[in-house]
């Protein structure tokens, strides 16, 4: 239950054996390569950077083509929804099986066919768009019944189509009729811009008429049409129908190809596997024949790693293992038992420990377990979370991270049910629907005895804080700083325990506790004043630093008060749940009351569960991150990132 020990390796082998080795190591998923190309100073000045840019470029091009096929076919496939989509598992293949599928496929022909179909469909869409524009341009003039061919044949007259605003129309119409007798105007309709007009006038007055039209705000519209407007629009509609039918036939061809979409996904992951194999080469150095690799391997995996090297390389390699140095950024891999493992998520959300630190997960886990349960503290809500988490773990094909998250909630749901029994909370006071007295608390009722719960919360807070201080002391002793452990931890223990004994003795009237507490507090306080400023050079600086360090006792008081949230959130959960139950009781009896009561119960308690579960999770995390981790934990570790396949659509497994 700790940070996994890592070994650094430097590996030399022949360039010709590189590809086979990388393929096996990608299946192994047990090493992390580091880039020796990025090091400014190294012992490999005689080597040049390794690169597989040509292979990478080719594979990326192949991948993009396959992705195009997948995306296009998927857009015409009816996707699974709801529970069916959630329960759909990824299929598993070995890399050899994927290679056979890829080699036997004709995906390039599929790509060329789909690309051609897409181009044809896009061309049809463009044609339909252009026709729609032409048709829409004619729509305002659909009431014009004359033939445009006949209009164009008239030599003695000119004609115009246009729009004039509604405010100007009457005056414009009157002026035109009174001034000219060789003008004909027809109103063809109206829209938000004004009236659509057709005007025809004799050539002899064309200049005057056009000047008057311009001065009146008449906006000329260029209407393109041959023959009758209605006939042209009908013709456009027919063209659109024919094009839509052609498009539908092309889409049907794509749908027929969609049956191969799943196989295309397998091929995509195979090419991604190959691409990953070549991309990792950007970390290596080489000569014309030799390749140099550097990386990290968990100490527990060294034998398996060596077996792979022997299997693939035979005796054609040299490897050197070494322990991490202070200058190394060692990747972090946590290994805990099944009970503590889900709580690694909480640690990782804050920051992974550095390689020289203690993994706080197994120590933090029981505190998080208790605190979450105290804050949600309802048997019914815990049971809902337990069932939901269990079903998700049993029925859903969860990724590793999601599975760990469900395991975490499965664990803390047990604590929630436990504290629900302690507090007597079952969906609030819902048991009163069954019996007037309900189910009594097994031990405490936060609503009627909040001070007792507050006292327990304070005790748990003190234990939590003291545990954090203890870990700090352990880390200082482990690093060889025994005096630092005495000065920065031991004296704080004396001071804090002394203050606690003073308060306990004063409240219980036990003089012995008061005396013991007084001397412990004095010893601790004097020790803190004498040592907390030890890094300062001057005498007065040391004393001032010591006094300031002693002032930190107010911070500990604030930390302990932070644990009052264990009472506050637990109280809120029960009272809000009971409020919804009270609303139901006020409805009275009858069918309507029963129906609305069920709705209020379900919706109200779902809301209460969601909001308070979120609150309990956030505040339980806060107590770990500030009050606990703040005493000893620096973090800043980088997760171990093994060289492995990305498995987007399927799971690539070992033979």
Pairwise CA distance, residues 226 & 195, whole Å:
23
Same domain? 479 vs 418: yes
Pairwise CA distance, residues 298 & 284, whole Å:
20
Pairwise CA distance, residues 364 & 353, whole Å:
13
Tally of structural domains, the chain? 3
Give the pLDDT confidence score for residue 145 in this predicted structure: 87
Tally the C-alpha atoms within 13 A of residue 314's C-alpha that lie toward its C-beta. Answer: 3
* Exposure string over 278-315, b if 16+ CB within 10 A, otherwise e: bbbbbbbbbeeebbbbbbbbbeebeeebeebbeebbee
Same domain? 556 vs 481: yes
Give the pLDDT confidence score for residue 22 in this predicted structure: 95
Cα dist from 387 to 372, 380, 411, whole Å? 17, 11, 11
Q: What is the pTM of this model?
A: 0.85
* Exposure string over 253-270, b if 16+ CB within 10 A, otherwise e: bbeebbebbeebbbbbbb
CATH of the domain at 183: 3.30.70.2750
Question: Do the bridges between strand 92-94 and strand 157-164 make them parallel or antiparallel, or are there none, so unpaired?
Answer: unpaired
User: Has residue 196 been placed in a domain?
Assistant: yes
Same domain? 19 vs 88: yes
Same domain? 376 vs 468: yes
User: Has residue 653 been placed in a domain?
Assistant: no
Pairwise CA distance, residues 621 & 364, whole Å:
10
Give the pLDDT confidence score for residue 137 in this predicted structure: 87
Same domain? 486 vs 610: yes
Same domain? 311 vs 380: no
Domain termination site, one of 317, 333, 349: 333
User: Has residue 640 been placed in a domain?
Assistant: no
Pairwise CA distance, residues 88 & 397, whole Å:
7
Same domain? 320 vs 263: yes
First to last CA, the chain: 30
Q: What is the CA radius of gyration of the chain?
A: 40
Same domain? 476 vs 625: yes
User: Has residue 469 been placed in a domain?
Assistant: yes
Pairwise CA distance, residues 514 & 501, whole Å:
6
Pairwise CA distance, residues 646 & 60, whole Å:
15
Cα dist from 481 to 251, 531, 593, whole Å? 74, 14, 70
Domain termination site, one of 272, 298, 333: 333
Same domain? 36 vs 77: yes
Pairwise CA distance, residues 475 & 459, whole Å:
25
Same domain? 550 vs 459: yes
Same domain? 324 vs 370: no
Cα dist from 365 to 339, 521, 621, whole Å? 8, 31, 11
Give the pLDDT confidence score for residue 85 in this predicted structure: 66
Same domain? 601 vs 494: yes
Pairwise CA distance, residues 543 & 524, whole Å:
15
Contact 546, 529 (CB under 8 A): yes
Contact 380, 426 (CB under 8 A): yes
User: Has residue 237 been placed in a domain?
Assistant: no
User: Has residue 273 been placed in a domain?
Assistant: yes
User: Has residue 238 been placed in a domain?
Assistant: no
User: Has residue 320 been placed in a domain?
Assistant: yes
Spans in the chain with pLDDT lower than 70: 1, 40-44, 82-85, 655
Six token digits for residue 50: 């390794």
Domain that includes residue 201, residue range: 146-227
Contact 15, 48 (CB under 8 A): no
Give the pLDDT confidence score for residue 612 in this predicted structure: 97
């Amino acid at each position: 239950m700790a940070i996994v020990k890592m070994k650094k390796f430097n590996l030399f082998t022949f360039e010709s054996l590189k590809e086979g080795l990388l393929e096996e190591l990608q299946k192994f998923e047990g090493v992390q390569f580091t880039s020796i190309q990025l090091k400014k100073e190294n012992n490999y000045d005689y080597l040049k950077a390794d690169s597989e840019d040509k292979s990478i470029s080719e594979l990326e091009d192949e991948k993009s083509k396959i992705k195009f096929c997948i995306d296009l076919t998927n857009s015409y496939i009816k996707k699974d929804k709801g529970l069916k989509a959630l329960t759909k598992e990824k299929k598993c293949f070995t890399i050899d099986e994927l290679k056979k599928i890829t080699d036997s496929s004709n995906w390039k022909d599929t790509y060329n066919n789909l690309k051609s179909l897409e181009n044809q469909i896009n061309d049809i869409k463009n044609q339909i768009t252009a026709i729609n524009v032409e048709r829409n341009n004619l729509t305002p003039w659909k009431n014009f019944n004359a033939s445009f061919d006949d209009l164009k044949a008239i030599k003695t007259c000119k004609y115009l189509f246009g729009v004039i605003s509604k405010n100007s129309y009457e005056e414009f119409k009157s002026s035109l009729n009174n001034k000219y007798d060789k003008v004909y105007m027809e109103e063809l309709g109206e829209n938000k811009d004004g009236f659509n007009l057709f005007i025809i006038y004799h050539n002899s007055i064309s200049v005057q008429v056009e000047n008057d039209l311009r001065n009146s705000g008449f906006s000329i519209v260029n209407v393109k049409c041959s023959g009758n407007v209605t006939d042209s629009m009908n013709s456009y509609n027919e063209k659109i129908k024919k094009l839509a039918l052609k498009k539908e036939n092309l889409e049907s061809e794509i749908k027929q190809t969609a049956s191969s979409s799943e196989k295309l996904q397998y091929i995509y992951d195979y090419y991604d596997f190959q691409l990953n194999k070549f991309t990792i080469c950007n970390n290596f150095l080489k000569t014309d024949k030799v390749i140099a690799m550097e990386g990290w391997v968990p100490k527990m995996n060294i034998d398996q790693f060596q077996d792979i090297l022997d299997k693939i390389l035979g005796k054609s390699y040299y490897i050197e293992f070494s322990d991490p140095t202070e200058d190394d950024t060692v990747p972090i891999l946590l290994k805990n038992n099944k009970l503590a493992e889900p709580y690694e998520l909480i640690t990782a959300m804050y920051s992974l420990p550095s390689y020289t630190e203690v993994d706080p997960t197994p120590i933090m886990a029981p505190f998080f377990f208790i605190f979450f349960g105290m804050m949600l503290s309802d048997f019914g809500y815990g049971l809902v979370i337990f069932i939901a988490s269990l079903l998700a773990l049993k029925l859903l094909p969860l990724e590793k991270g999601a599975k760990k998250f469900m395991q975490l909630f499965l664990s803390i749901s047990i604590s929630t049910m436990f504290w629900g029994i302690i507090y007597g909370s079952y969906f609030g006071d819902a048991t009163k629907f069954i019996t007037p007295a309900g189910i009594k608390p097994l031990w405490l009722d936060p609503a009627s005895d909040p001070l007792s719960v507050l006292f327990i919360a304070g005790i748990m807070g003190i234990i939590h804080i003291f545990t954090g201080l203890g870990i700090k002391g352990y880390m200082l002793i482990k690093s060889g700083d025994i005096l630092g452990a005495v000065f920065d931890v031991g004296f704080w223990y004396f001071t804090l325990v002394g203050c606690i004994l003073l308060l306990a003795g004063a409240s219980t009237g036990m003089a012995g506790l008061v005396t013991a507490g007084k001397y412990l507090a004095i010893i601790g306080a004097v020790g803190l004043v004498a040592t907390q400023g030890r890094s300062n050079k001057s005498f007065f600086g040391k004393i001032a630093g010591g006094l300031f360090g002693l002032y930190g006792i107010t911070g500990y008081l604030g930390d302990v008060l932070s644990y009052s949230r264990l009472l506050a959130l637990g109280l809120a959960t029960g009272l809000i749940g009971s409020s919804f139950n009270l609303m139901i009781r006020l409805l009275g009896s009858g069918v309507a009351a029963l129906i609305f009561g069920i709705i209020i119960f379900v919706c109200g308690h779902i809301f209460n569960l969601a909001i308070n579960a979120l609150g309990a999770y956030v505040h339980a995390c806060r107590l770990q991150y500030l009050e606990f981790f703040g005493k000893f934990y620096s973090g800043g570790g980088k997760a171990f990132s093994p060289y492995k396949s990305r498995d987007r659509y399927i799971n690539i497994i070992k033979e």
